Amino acid sequence: MSIVLFGPPGAGKGTQAKKMIVAGHMTHISTGDLFRAAMKNETPLGLEAKSYVDSGNLVPDSVTIGLVKEVIAANKEGHFIFDGFPRTSTQAEALEKLISDMNANPIKHALFLEVPTDVLARRLTGRRLCRDCGAVYHVDSKPPSVPGQCDLCQGEIYQRKDDSEEVISTRLDAYSKNTEPLKEYYQKKGLFVEIDGQGDPEDVFDRFKTYL
Ligand code: ADP
Ligand code: ADP
Ligand code: ZN
C-alpha cells in the first residue's frame, strides 16, 4: 500500500516519514526534499522551483506533478509514503490518476498530523538541517551532539532560507488556502485519519503504529 502524510509546515511529517520508511520498508517521496536537492545541484527543475520555494509559495502543480510522475515511474513496485505531496486538490486528483495509470500501489491512508499554530512556529524557526544528508535537527528539542555538525555524516548544519519568520507566514497561508481543504477531500474518500502530532516524536510515532 501507499500512504499520504500531510499537515501544516513543521508538523513533523519528515521526522515521522523517516521513522516509517525504516519500520515499514517503504519508499519516501518528499517533494520538498526533491526540490531542495534540485536547487542545490542547480538542475533545470531546481532553477525553476527556487523563486517559489524561497518565497514560501507553492511550486506550480504542473511542475510538481511531473516530478512525482518521474519518481513513481522509476519504481512502480514501491510502497510509497508521500510527504508534503499532494498539497492541492489538483495534485491529489493527479496522484490518483498516476497511480492507477502506472498500476502502482494504491493509497490506503491519508494521515493528517495535527499541531497547533503556535507550536508550529517554534518548530519551524528552530529547525536546522544537514546540508549533505538532509537530517533534521532542532535547536531546542534535537540539537546535534557537536554544534554545527551532523551526527550522521559530519556535514554542515544550516537553517533553511524559508524557515525565516516572514516566509513562514506565507507558507502557513498557502497551507490554509490550498492544503487544508484536502482534509475534506480524503474524508470523502474514507481515507482520512487525524493523528495528534504533539509530544515526543517517539510517542507520535507510536500513535501511527497503533493506527496502522
Ligand atoms: P515543510 O516540510 O516545511 O512543510 P517542504 O519541505 O515540504 O516544507 O516544502 C518546502 C517548499 O517546497 C514549499 O514551501 C513549496 O515551495 C515547495 N513544495 C514542496 N512540496 C510541494 C508541493 N507538493 N506542491 C507545491 N510546492 C511544493
Ligand atoms: P515537516 O516535515 O512537517 O515540515 P519536520 O519533521 O521537519 O516537519 O519537523 C519540523 C521541526 O520540528 C524540526 O526541527 C524537528 O526536529 C522538530 N520536530 C518534529 N517533530 C517534533 C516533535 N514531536 N516534538 C518536537 N519537535 C519536533
Ligand atoms: Zn548529515
Residue-number span of the structural domain to which 195 is assigned: 2-117+166-211
**What is the total count of domains within the chain?**
1
- Among the bound ligands, the one closest to the CA of 205: 2
| Best CA proximity match to 8, nearest among 150, 176, 159, 127 | 176
- Quote the cell numbers at residue 23: 519500520
Q: In what order do the strands lie in the sheet with 157-158?
A: 136-138, 127-130, 157-158
Q: Classify residue 129: in a domain, yes or no.
A: no
CA of 97 to the centre of ligand 3 (A): 35
Q: Classify residue 76: in a domain, yes or no.
A: yes
Give the contacts of 33 (CB within 8 A, at least 6 positions apart).
14, 83, 134
Q: Classify residue 87: in a domain, yes or no.
A: yes
| pLDDT at 45 (0 to 100) | 95
Cβ atoms of residues 212 and 94 within 8 Å? no
- Quote the cell numbers at residue 205: 510515532
Give the contacts of 180 (CB within 8 A, at least 6 positions apart).
none
Q: Classify residue 127: in a domain, yes or no.
A: no
Q: Classify residue 153: in a domain, yes or no.
A: no
Which domain CATH number covers 95? 3.40.50.300
Q: Classify residue 27: in a domain, yes or no.
A: yes
122 in catalytic set: no
| pLDDT at 23 (0 to 100) | 83
18: Cβ below 6 Å to ligand 2?
no
Q: Classify residue 77: in a domain, yes or no.
A: yes
- Quote the cell numbers at residue 202: 517517539
Q: Cβ < 6 Å from ligand 1: which residues? A: 9-10, 13-14, 31-32, 35, 52-53, 56-59, 64, 84-85, 87, 91, 162, 171
Q: Classify residue 60: in a domain, yes or no.
A: yes
- Quote the cell numbers at residue 46: 531546481
pTM here?
0.96
The pLDDT tens digits along the chain (212 residues) read: 999 999 999 999 999 999 999 888 899 999 999 999 999 999 999 999 999 999 999 999 999 999 999 999 999 999 999 999 999 999 999 999 999 999 999 999 999 999 999 999 999 999 999 999 999 999 999 999 999 999 999 999 999 999 999 999 999 999 999 999 999 999 999 999 999 999 999 999 999 999 98
